[in-house]
Amino acid sequence: MTSKQFFLQKTLVFALVINIITNFILIPKYEMLGAAISTAFSFIFWNIIGVIYVIKTDRVNLSVFNLLGGFIK
């Protein structure tokens, strides 16, 4: 590991909390579609935070953000 597993763990726990909260909000109104939206939102959040962290700490940009010409630096 690169000693970044603790940040990933915190990010995943935060994404889990977001998922649970949005599930409570969206499922009663939108049912299965609400659960899908909630899960997709938490996955997108988790991946974007991970990409930004890796770009800032390791200076490695293997994402679509590289196309933005240094938007995140």
Task: Sketch the domain layout of the chain as residue ranges.
Answer: 5-68
Q: Give the whole-number percent of the chain exceeding pLDDT 90.
A: 53
Q: What is the C-alpha to C-alpha distance for residues 68 and 66, in angstroms, rounded to an integer?
A: 5
Q: Find the angle CA(11)-CA(13)-CA(43) to the nearest 5 degrees.
A: 65
pLDDT tens-digit series, residues 36-52: 999 999 999 998 898 88
User: Which candidate, 53, 52, 38, places its Cα nearest to that of 6?
Assistant: 53
Above 60 in pLDDT, residue 5?
A: yes
Q: What is the C-alpha to C-alpha distance for residues 66 and 10, in angstroms, rounded to an integer?
A: 25
Tell whether pTM > 0.85: no
Which two tokens mark 64? 């679509």
